[in-house]
Chain A
């Protein structure tokens, strides 16, 4: 009996997270309450048309598929405020524990935690939770900055570092396992979602552009 209840709770949580990821992908407000609809199954990818723009391509379903995901690819999982994100290894510079702390620049945007040296570059550390979560969820973040930035995922040749609470496994994905963002999706930094792993796959090129835009 107890097992059934626990199973139901887990199922509800999975459905809620699935719906949340789905909402992230479509750009609508992410549902956070119970009673959400189950997410759609990931759609199989149709080959991108040749001659499309180099960084990404749209298929016939309108899905936007980055070049690095045209064949089987690897990605690193990491956790941010309870949400699992994935960064493609093709776009990953490195992962470091945040042991020496961050230097905080005066007057900085709340999206940034500070800077840290990484291989001769001053990496700007992003408060990933504040960036990826909708504003209403990011405001009352339960975990402190120290916990949110226990590890740093370094991208864009060291220019940016994504603060995260936990580093996960490296996974291999077939493009068909990913539900790709469509051209209508508002969150350009989100390449897609992997429902079976309950994670959001980042589009690093779009993410760094968005971060630079935030700084402009």
Chain B
């Protein structure tokens, strides 16, 4: 085998198409890593801005409260007074719930450019703060990002196709295959040397370029573990495509036929199957209408506003501990009525929002099951999970925001309804978002889902090699 590899190396050195494909792939990978890292830096800077703003406003609340205590200003609106719950909440509290970046976020931008990663959570109905999108060119959202995962999913297989489609057919067409068979040499071993050498170089260069690019372009060294896990999956994916190329080459009589078959398989696995599956799932589990959602919410808000005083009375009946001390009536207080109306709107909106979450959950579950049918979807899913830019993580974060909203309402309710002086600056609830433990089994299953078909294809190919 070493002799074979040495002989094959002489061919590889002169194979212009091989080196061109490898070079273009590495260039694309570096560009993809640079793009991903630029995006994560932009996100990190936005998070810092949010944190700075929150800290500055909190410090201002303390400073202003001390100043107003010493010299109370004349005609200060309660909405601007940090010593009043309303003033603190309205004018000073700028608390953002942030979706933390995973260490390897730059590998796959995923859904992170489409779905918001910070919300200013208030005690108002959730729909007043949940529709906060990042500014982004819609064309860019539609096309998707040129990140490292795009390079691995789309371009790596095409590089394999360019390199490997004619490795057997050209010898067959040139008549040299018969000469080779006349030699005391197993054809399978010869072909294995051809594929393994090229595959080893291409994937090895890809791996080195990933590590070097990550560190060279400013990726966090602490994320190298996650990058390596991603790389293991990508290499398994590359191995699958090499195995497929070998399988097709062993069944094809011409290099053109081999290239066409591989291109058609790529087209199916990388473009048509994911897009078709998405179309099928949106038909099977269509999300409810957002226009109807808005219409119902608006109607419900109007109805709640009309019944404001009645709702406040009912609310205080349910929560007698929140009734203003010594002021049993007070239903005409605009601010308190608004609070009761908000609670009613939130009660009405919850099932409407749940309908969206449920349909999304059904689509997500179907993908969880069906992704095993396509190596592309397996790698895509795992890449997003490793990068922390997948939909499931975002949904968990939204659930944590829901919990924070509930705690925020509970925190402000007694303070707002009883008009207590506000000094609890350090007790405002914060987001409690916890990452689940790393899914080692899922990673191993994904690796197996890529390597098992690759091995099966190799086994099947080995029996077919010949004239």
Do A and B interact with each other, yes or no?
no
